[in-house]
Chain A
């Protein structure tokens, strides 16, 4: 791991204790993502992709192993510390959009900046929404937007705090192929324009092929591509 690395994952293991005994869903996964680069996590269903993403983003605690984000040891922070880290460094895009239903598009986008008390949130939110092509839908609520539009709002939200790394869990899983294409383009555009690294979980191998690096999981282990 070096200064060039934005995300460093080392020997990451995650197990759950269930009624049927201990269940290890991730086993000794190691990889590195460099600043501004893109990375895809692929693998069959149940192979542990989402689990890995969650651990990388500091949404969960690993059973063993370490995660470093921008040189900070995520596994040693407490929940509030990780929350602060997420707010400063990370952006998220989810398969099911995860917009706050009671907030308008503009308000949804503003949340990360308002959270840390930064000024100018409104202005920047409008700018970002215009950039994703929703300049005329600023004050619409999520239920008034289509799935693709919602995902664009989520994208705008993900970028408002100028994150250093963006995590996306099957960002196009709920969209048709045409809309998916637009979202993917946007994602990569924004990534290029602001130098944000991108970690992407996907089933779509075509999409994976567009990234700089592919991590393949099978049964919780990293397997090298053929």
Chain B
């Protein structure tokens, strides 16, 4: 195609009467492009932030982490790493605020001089991050200070240690503030840790060594050779590159989610453009015939409208680009809380232009769908109104659909981290489009066949509107149905995830969990609770252990296997907190095997949770060897259990029969329920005062935290959904408005022939209701399927859709369609017929 001057000139002239209409009706593309622009630009900013702030993310060049006290050999090896070193010990315990008598589980971190090597603590007052080690004093996370109304200068009691609070922690280099509020952080000087008397052999402390090297050091190379021996000692090495990679991964998920959402908005916008152009082009058939008659070739006439489509796309891209850049200004605030990064607001021109380009291409491709059939307009149409348009599809049309399919697939592949996610996304979109088009076709043929003369007049007319020439059935089905599908899918997924996070079960749920109880403290603690009319709901011993071998193969060897091995790393390395007892509890269900009883041979029969059994690839009879603080214990799987993890009860992967682990070092968990917050606080206070080693989790507090996290996530989701909703609504309005001109001609004709306004209105209501109903019904069915698949395959959760939501959605869509339709038709309805017959 060569777009010469004449083509552009004709495109400009031809658009004269319809420019405003055309643009208004394709506004949806602007929103779509804006969504994509803002999101890709944000993605670029995130990448820059990761690259720039990588060092301060780790706050050092290298971090060594151990989940057990450092052995002599480990100390030697760490010594050998050289550089400037700083250390941190962290563990969970109860903190007491003597002024308010408040207590809460916190994460205590003992820090030596030096940390952070890069970046800085953000505190109030600003110098607190430097002075707390010398005073000595504590740095306390802001949320905790707020909870207990504490001020700088107040004391805080950790175990047996009392320190003044010297600063409020606002930001810690490399950590996102939102995810760690379950156990807020308290920093104290490492030298003060022993004074708390909290660290004992069986406490679960984490040890970190931060190392800084001179600027020119090639840390990556240096660490490479040392990873293996460190791994053997269960020491983890993390470099800036590792952190960058991990961060990039989670960033990618967020980015993928947002950009696929943006892409959907863009596709919907494309549907809007196609609809606007469709109407425009239909009106232009006579002009095309005249041009053909005067000697224009099929391609030349086509080019005129392609040129208009391109101009529209360009305008949309520019406006969408501007809007997107503006929106991007707000985006970092939406996601700031999830990421441990300072996101700078800068316009990433390359990504902005890229997204604008993608928007332009989508716009032109969708515009081509209605434009291409113009090739087949016969010049004969100038002599008589021919309806004889050949029925076979233009091969170019198939080519176009092919390109669109490839484009969509390409984009989703490019955005998804896994190729099959990209394909699934494309497949979903195609199935949705296909099904909606199919239902539209069915509806049209049904409307054609079902009508019988016995129906009331308005019903016959309303139905007939669905199939008569120039009907909007397909378009409205597509836009309404897609909109319903996407929005409801999002809602259902979000709903399911939320439900899954919230605790199940009713009645006497525990709301407080006490742990780290020593065996000799059990009866005292039980008495303490009983005196306060608080029932012990459950009591369980806990022994921490690690896997030593699976089916006779040592963990060390399993860890060396290539990456695609079936057992995930974290399962092999994790700490198992196991218990012993003789029967199932409420939250458990037997799956297969016999409940373990006595020791046979030298191997203890155990009951395994079915999920972890799957991860470990073991079944009944397989051998597992555990390591309890250096002592090895041989076991075999005798029983598999299903565990309802949502129940707020201590749940375990591994359950031993009683009389097998009693000798091992154990602590105990007790769950209880306080009836009022005050009673709970009083009990906590008494507990922390008398037994500083015992920790306590207030589950209502945890739920609140989960809730904030979830609501922050849903801000991002809603942000995306509002784009899709906005675009969908614009498409709806434009589809109805463009259809209005034809419907109005008919309505007026009907009125001229004596129909009352009420009858005309009924016809419209019936038509829009049928459209809204069928489209939303299809959309709901699609959404149930889509959300079900997502929840089941991606999030691996059972899917229990809420019963009401689909009906509410359908009702809303039907109502919206009808009201939009009526509002849009109202003005014309009240004008005298003659005026309109002339005007439009």
Contact = CB atoms under 8 A, between A and B. Distances in A.
B378 A59 contact: yes
Interface string A93-115: 01000111111000100011011
A84 B15 contact: no
A117 interface: yes
A57 to B, nearest CB: 8
A99 B294 CA distance: 11
A94 B15 contact: no
Contact of A100 (B287, B378, B380): B287
A102 B383 contact: no
B297 interface: yes
A86 B380 contact: no
B295 A83 contact: yes
B382 A59 contact: yes
A80 B9 contact: no
A90 B292 CA distance: 12
Contacts of B289: 98
Contacts of A115: 6, 291, 294-296, 300
Contacts of B4: 117
A16 to B, nearest CB: 8
A221 interface: no
B300 A98 contact: no
Nearest to A95: B383
Contacts of A80: 297-299
Interface string B362-393: 00000000000000001110111000000000
Contacts of B78: none
Contact of A92 (B9, B286, B378, B382): B382
Given A83-B292, A115-B6, A169-B383, A98 B297 contact: no
A88 B484 CA distance: 54
A50 B293 CA distance: 14
A112 B294 contact: yes
Contacts of A103: 13-14
Contacts of B16: 102
Nearest to B293: A92
Interface residues of A, number: 32
A24 to B, nearest CB: 16
A111 B17 contact: no
A115 B9 CA distance: 11
Contact of A102 (B15, B378, B379): B15
A116 interface: yes
B437 interface: no
A54 interface: yes
B81 interface: no
Given A102-B16, A103-B13, A117-B6, A60 B380 contact: yes
A201 to B, nearest CB: 10
A79 interface: yes
B219 interface: no
Given A101-B17, A114-B9, A59 B293 contact: yes
A136 to B, nearest CB: 21
Nearest to B296: A115
A87 B295 contact: yes
Contacts of A117: 4, 6
Contacts of A54: 380, 383
A101 B287 contact: yes
Q: Which of A83, A111, A114 has the most CB of B within 10 A?
A: A83
B291 A100 contact: yes
B119 to A, nearest CB: 63
B745 to A, nearest CB: 17
B613 interface: no
A98 B293 CA distance: 10
Nearest to B12: A102
Interface of B: 4, 6, 9-10, 13-18, 286-287, 289-300, 378-380, 382-384
13 contacts: A54-B380, A59-B382, A59-B383, A90-B295, A92-B293, A98-B382, A99-B290, A100-B291, A101-B17, A101-B287, A102-B16, A102-B17, A115-B300
Given A100-B287, A115-B291, A115-B300, 19 more contacts: A54-B380, A54-B383, A59-B382, A80-B299, A83-B296, A84-B295, A85-B295, A86-B379, A98-B382, A99-B290, A102-B15, A102-B17, A102-B18, A107-B13, A111-B291, A112-B295, A114-B9, A116-B295, A117-B4
